[in-house]
Amino acid sequence: MSSAAPLWTAAEIAAATGGTASGAFEVSGVAFDSREVGPGDLFVALTGEQTDGHRFVAQAFAQGAAGAIVSRDCEAPHVRVADTMAALEALARAARARTAARIIGVTGSVGKTGTKEALATALDRADPGATHKSVKSYNNHTGVPLSLARMPRDARFGVFEMGMNHAGELDALTRIVRPHVAIVTAIAPSHIAFFDSVEAIADAKGEIFAGLEEGGTAIVPFDSLHHGRLRAAAERFAGRVTSFGTSEGADVRAVETMAVEGGTFVTARLGERELSFTIGQAGAHWVSNALAVLAAVDAAGGDLALAGLALADMRDLAGRGARHRIVVGDGDVLLIDESYNANPASMRATLAVLGAEPAVRRVAVLGEMRELGEHGADYHAALAAPIREACVEYAVLVGAGMAPLAEALEGRVDFVHVADAAQAQSALDAVLAPGDAVLVKGSNGVGLSAIVAALARRGA
């Protein structure tokens, strides 16, 4: 994408937000976290329950900000508005209105960040630099507008992750994003503490289709128990509904899969077309993600062959399957980093990956799963079966929520139950041996990424 034109000028920001510019300036990026501000950025001083961004305006300019959106007096270059959050949303809508890019929205209980990353990589392969994507997991009521506001005016594709933990949230986000293509990756009891049932979660995820542009494409998981429910929601808004999966009847279907080192070789069928490719990530869940990616690339007018090549490069997603070789004694250990988040479905999927890994011994470091509501104890205890199926010989269980699993494993699998990530690190250090394969997975708030970072520094 061309870097000649600024991302936004002061006049454009003022026109989009209804604000008043202090003078002329241009920005090349947008941030609302002062710690992330870089040279040329626009700093949006959001006011929240915990802090007030106006306290950090001076810091933002010290770090190189070129302008700010504020709702109070400011001596630095700025656009003054009545409400900075409303201004960020307005800037997002202006970015969406001016672009000619094909826009893809991604949601789901599991797999949405990995699918977003894979899809952006696949689209970018044909025209490097022409695809814009959400960074990190910026998928909520502030992250989605920020990601849109950052989209270069000459982008060819935009890929946006959208998350939720309450009904109605996706409806609001998708009407800002207005995707041409909308994907639901999978439905699982993630955030079920805020819902009456998994069916209610499916309905909330189906809200993404409400923002589809006229004639847009909805992409739904065929193998899901909730396929019919999602399809019905999609048909209200979509010009076309495409399904993906491994079962007969899916529009985009894996007809053959074969495990290869650190990944999977797949032959997929899209109507009368057939494509063989390798995914640089292991596990059935990544096969599903890849099929959704192919469906979206096809719907968005991308290059399927190049997308297949790009999927082979999906090896180093921190917190989502990245693999490290760690020096231990006179040998090494395979570390599988799934530390970013966890729910019952993703736990089962990644334990199956560990189980398929050739190793002298399989070790699982598992953090508690959060936001599971009144059935949380049952969901944790139910992990005993996939742990045994994966032939895990030693488990480190982290957090109070893991107590039901500890009880279920008693006398069946060797384990230790600890309170936090620091204790888990000590417990793991005490048992690691050459030839081990170690899976680290848990809800983000448990902080298991610190264990991965510490181990990764011992890279082989």
> Helix, strand, or coil here: 242?
strand
Kindly report the pTM of this predicted structure.
0.88
Tokens 């501000």 — which residue?
Answer: 37
- Asked if pLDDT for residue 367 goes beyond 90, the answer is yes
Instruction: Average the pLDDT over each of 189-198, 333-342, 394-403 and give the range with the smallest value.
Output: 189-198
Asked if the model's pLDDT at residue 315 lies above 90, the reply is: no
Helix/strand/coil for 335: strand
Q: Report the DSSP pairing between strands 361-367 and 331-338.
A: unpaired
Cα separation, 460 vs 446, whole angstroms = 26
State the DSSP H helix or E strand holding residue 284, giving kind and residue range, or none if neither. helix 284-300
pLDDT of 33 strictly over 70: yes
The pLDDT-based confidence of 292 (bands split at 50, 70, 90) is very high
3-state secondary structure of 10: helix
Of the candidates 360, 346, 384, the one whose C-alpha atom is nearest the C-alpha of residue 437 is 360
| Distance separating alpha carbons of residues 58 and 64, to the nearest angstrom | 10
At residue 255, φ and ψ (nearest 5 deg) are: -95, -15
* Average pLDDT, rounded, for the chain: 95
pLDDT of residue 2 exceeding 70, the answer is no
Regarding beta strands 41-44 and 29-31, do their DSSP bridges make them parallel or antiparallel, or are they unpaired? parallel
Least confident of 47-56, 58-67, 274-283, 402-411: 47-56
- Name every residue whose Cβ is closer than 8 Å to that of residue 116 and which is 6 or more positions away in sequence: 106, 133, 134, 159, 160, 161
Residues 6+ apart with CB under 8 A from 97: none
Are 383 and 392 in contact, with CB atoms under 8 Å apart? no
pLDDT of residue 460: 59
Mean pLDDT throughout 49-75? 95
Q: Which range (68-77, 150-159, 316-325, 422-431) has the least confidence?
A: 316-325
Q: Which long-range contacts (CB under 8 A, 24 or more apart) does 193-196 make?
A: 193/371, 193/372, 193/373, 193/374, 193/376, 194/165, 194/166, 194/371, 194/373, 195/167
Q: Per-residue pLDDT averaged across 204-222, rounded?
A: 98
**165: closest CA among 145, 193, 144?**
193
Q: What's residue 48's pLDDT?
A: 82
pLDDT per residue as tens digits for the range 108-162: 999 999 999 999 999 999 999 999 999 877 899 999 999 999 999 999 999 999 9
For residues 110, 111, 112 and 115, what is the CA-based torsion angle, rounded to 10 degrees? Answer: -170
Distances (CA, A) of 184 to 58, 83, 258, 429: 41, 32, 25, 39
- Which distant-in-sequence residues (6+ apart) come within 8 Å of 73 by Cβ? none
Look at residue 459 in the predicted model and tell me its pLDDT: 73
pLDDT attached to residue 51: 86
pLDDT value for 47: 92
Residue 70 has pLDDT above 50, yes or no: yes
Please, what are the domains in the chain?
Answer: 8-85 (3.40.1390.10), 99-311 (3.40.1190.10), 322-456 (3.90.190.20)
Query: What is the percent of the chain with per-residue pLDDT over 90, rounded to a whole number?
Result: 88
Beta strands (DSSP E) in 271-360 are: 273-279, 322-328, 331-338
Residue 304 φ then ψ, to 5°? -65, -40
Tokens coding 20: 């008043």
Distance CA 113, CA 106 (A): 8
Q: Count how many residues are written for the chain.
A: 460
How confident is the model over 387-404, as a mean pLDDT? 97
CA triple 4-28-67, angle to 5 deg: 130
Cβ atoms of 81 and 41 closer than 8 Å: no
- Is the pLDDT at 28 greater than 50, yes or no? yes
**Cβ atoms of 307 and 293 closer than 8 Å:** yes
For 227-267, write each residue's pLDDT tens digit.
999 999 999 999 999 999 999 999 999 999 998 988 999 99
- What's the average model confidence in pLDDT over 200-208? 97
